[in-house]
Structure 1
Amino acid sequence: MGKRGAKPKFTDVFCPNKECKFYGISGKGNIIGNGTYQIKDKRVRKYICRECGRVFNDRTNTFFDNVRKDESVIILALKMAIKGMSIQAIADVLEVQPATVSNWLFRAAKQCEKVNEDLMKDPNISKVEMDELWVIVEKKLPPRTENEDEGTWMWVSFAPEFRLIIDFILGPRKQYVADELIKTTDKHLSDSKPLFVTDGLKFYAEAFLKKYGEWMEFPRTGKKGRPKKPAIIPDENLKYAQVVKNKKGKKLQKVEKRVIFGENIDQSEISTSLLERQNLTFRQDNNRVSRKTIGFSKKIRFLYNQMRLYCTHFNFCRDHMGLKKEKENGSIEKNTPAKKYGITKSKWTLTKLLNYRCIKISTN
């Protein structure tokens, strides 16, 4: 033991080399310190993996890997982007190049994808609401026209109990986009299927059958007539209902609740009101998806990057007023959607979100 005490054991650090047999696994004793280096506002520790010889540091495989700009400037730029400010406006305020801001937004979206893939999986959710949000991309088009389905829509899956945005897809109102939304949402769910509730759009029922249906061939009965054709039947555990709004002109006449698949579905659970309220939050809080705006995205990839950052920040870093509760001492406890569900133990900061790295604790 030296004058500075025992050498630290890096039990929570893992090797980022995918070729290493200890990739993504901590606590194996293969990581040792390799000094530090100074950046503008702090020191960064370096490591060596004794198994494969890979040299890395605290910022490897995070948003800040090989980023030289001051972190506070980047965080401020991304907070502006979350609120829907344009890339050019952010560049003008911070006196950087628009291409630099665009690159930060792209890297942030990739980091958020990694966080969602690692943490947003196998949630035990009892109900999932799905809806589509009309957005403007490239040029302004009038909504509610014959060709509105050809425009860009934001398809969202939402867990109302925890106000958790499960995932989203950008695309036209077509069958293949509905199929993709169901597949993407299913990747985040556990084996127990929740109740799915959507609006009356016809594409959802076929998408659920494609994902959860089984091909059934019916035996011959021996009676006259043609035999029954093979068909796709829904899984016995699938529960799906629709909220259909009947309108006359622009006025709502009647709201009808339909059970499409499944049995014993409580009529009070057939609702998409909380997701529709979330759509209002999107529009009020984010200039890129507002209805009457000239701040819309000129390219769909810019909208995707911004919305991926926005939704992940919403889940992990933002207190939700609908999730607050009063403690015994009278104080109010605020919760983020991720904290409410139990994905995280506390509210994250944007810096913590951008510094997240996947980790697997060794059981040996």
Structure 2
Amino acid sequence: MQCIYCHHENVVKNGTKTLKTAQVVQYFLCTDCGRRFNERSGTPMARLRTPVETISMAINARTEGLGIRAAGRVLGKSPSSIIRWEERLSAQLSSWSPPSSEESDITIEGDEVYTRVGENIPPWLSEGWTIHFIERDSRYWLEARAGLKNGALFEESVKAAWDWAKPSLSIRWFTDGERRYSNELWKLASVYLPGSATTQAYPFRKVWRAGLEVAMKIKGSQGKPRVEWVNREHPYTAISPKSEVHANHNEALNSSLRRRASGYRRRQNHYAKKVEGLQRALNVQRLIHNWCRPHWGHRHKRTPAMVLGFIQRPVEIAEILVVRSFRCVTS
């Protein structure tokens, strides 16, 4: 146990408190800073008297496609309470987003998915666009950002995905025909190398970082897709076969998202009223997808976090509610 104020480990037990729901909460005292806190401080359950099981059932219902009002009717709770619980869990996303391993070889797929926000307006004016990235082999959902489909949204999403992936030695970055993915990545992952094609005025050429391969699959006018490698590759970067350049796994995640998130469901009046609410639902979906929900495509029913080596077992929703980060679960 670490102190939530000074982060030192000189902590001793300092009594308990029984809530009206018969739950016993353990209190602690930090001998360094002298401040007192309990086992729920700094977690989504801080200052809440609702049982963990009730909140866990609400989050599970929401991530299985139930709307906020429907979940409130099933559990006998106010919709505003469920929203507050989701906001608390969404705020923990950064504590449950470790970077990729330095020695790993990863393949990233990027794609967009659209839904309505607020009212039914043309897609180019709507804030319901979501840009998200997954790691192909593990199905780890590493970034999802909602908003207006403009340059700022692409810049923020690509930067977040690149910050997660850049410790890895070998990175394959595959997307569909949207060129703004590679344009934004080019600003972050390009280097200068001397080469034979240079001139005296320009003695260096600009290429991708070593180990980074960027390609996209484009659908032609005749329905025949073609593969295009974007910009110049580093001389020490291997080129993948054309059959591996696709974002099919991300397309499958789009289909799953429309089933499990009410805000993305088609032909129903479940769409988000504001983009903040849509982003909150996305963050909760990412947490449950990566850490709690086993993927049946993996052997032994493993979660994406287990495949990447972040943890050795699936995490219960109740555990995410009562701990501060994934390191508390693994320690």
Q: TM-score range by the shorter chain?
A: 0.7 to 0.9
CA contact (8 A) 2:215 2:229 kept: yes
Counterpart position of 1:75: 56
Find the partner of 1:338 among 281, 305, 308: 305
Question: What is the CA–CA distance in structure 1 between the aligned matches of 2:285 and 2:217, rounded to whole Å?
Answer: 27
User: Is the alpha carbon distance of 1:138 and 1:107 closer, same or farther for their aligned partners in structure 2, counting shifts above 3 Å?
Assistant: same
1:51 aligns with 2:32: yes
Question: What is the CA–CA distance in structure 1 between the aligned matches of 2:206 and 2:321, rounded to whole Å?
Answer: 44
Counterpart position of 2:169: 192
Counterpart position of 1:292: 267
CA contact (8 A) 2:159 2:185 kept: no
Counterpart position of 1:33: 13
Question: What is the CA–CA distance in structure 1 between the aligned matches of 2:111 and 2:163, rounded to whole Å?
Answer: 18
Counterpart position of 1:14: 2
CA contact (8 A) 2:211 2:238 kept: no
Counterpart position of 1:104: 85
Q: CA deviation at 1:186?
A: 2.2
Gaps of 5+ in 2: none
Q: CA deviation at 1:120?
A: 4.4
How do residues 1-364 of structure 1 correspond to structure 2 at under 5 angstroms?
13-17=1-5, 20=6, 23=7, 25-26=8-9, 30-39=10-19, 40-116=21-97, 119-122=98-101, 124-141=104-121, 148=124, 151-189=127-165, 190-214=167-191, 221=200, 233-247=207-221, 253-260=223-230, 261-262=232-233, 263-267=237-241, 268-324=243-299, 333-358=300-325
| Count of residues in Structure 1 that have an aligned counterpart in Structure 2 | 318
Question: What is the CA–CA distance in structure 1 between the aligned matches of 2:289 and 2:22, rounded to whole Å?
Answer: 27
Question: What is the CA–CA distance in structure 1 between the aligned matches of 2:132 and 2:298, rounded to whole Å?
Answer: 20
Question: What is the CA–CA distance in structure 2 between the aligned matches of 1:168 and 1:359, rounded to whole Å?
Answer: 19
What root-mean-square deviation, in Å, do the aligned CA atoms of Structure 1 and Structure 2 show? 2.6
CA contact (8 A) 2:116 2:128 kept: yes
The alignment partner of 1:131 has SS state of strand
One-letter code of the match for 1:279?
Answer: N
Q: CA deviation at 1:316?
A: 0.6
Q: CA deviation at 1:230?
A: 9.7
The alignment partner of 1:33 has SS state of strand
- The range that moved more, 211-220 or 230-239, is 211-220
Question: What is the CA–CA distance in structure 2 between the aligned matches of 1:359 and 1:77, rounded to whole Å?
Answer: 21
One-letter code of the match for 2:215?
Answer: A
TM-score (norm 1): 0.79
One-letter code of the match for 2:255?
Answer: L
Q: What CA deviation, in whole Å up to 9, does each residue of 1:256-282 have, x standing for no partner?
A: 111114253112331211111111111
The alignment partner of 2:315 has SS state of coil
CA contact (8 A) 1:125 1:159 kept: no
Task: Specify the structure having the higher radius of gyration (Cα).
Answer: 1
User: Is the alpha carbon distance of 1:209 and 1:291 closer, same or farther for their aligned partners in structure 2, counting shifts above 3 Å?
Assistant: same
The alignment partner of 2:145 has SS state of strand
- The range that moved more, 287-296 or 299-308, is 287-296
Question: What is the CA–CA distance in structure 2 between the aligned matches of 1:57 and 1:191, rounded to whole Å?
Answer: 38
CA contact (8 A) 1:121 1:187 kept: no
One-letter code of the match for 1:197?
Answer: F
TM-score (norm 2): 0.87
Question: What is the CA–CA distance in structure 1 between the aligned matches of 2:96 and 2:125, rounded to whole Å?
Answer: 31
One-letter code of the match for 1:177?
Answer: L
The alignment partner of 1:298 has SS state of coil
User: Is the alpha carbon distance of 1:258 and 1:359 closer, same or farther for their aligned partners in structure 2, counting shifts above 3 Å?
Assistant: closer
Q: CA deviation at 1:86?
A: 2.7
Among the aligned pairs, what percent are the same residue? 21
Gaps of 5+ in 1: 1-12, 222-226, 325-332
Question: What is the CA–CA distance in structure 2 between the aligned matches of 1:135 and 1:183, rounded to whole Å?
Answer: 23
CA contact (8 A) 2:191 2:206 kept: yes
One-letter code of the match for 1:341?
Answer: L
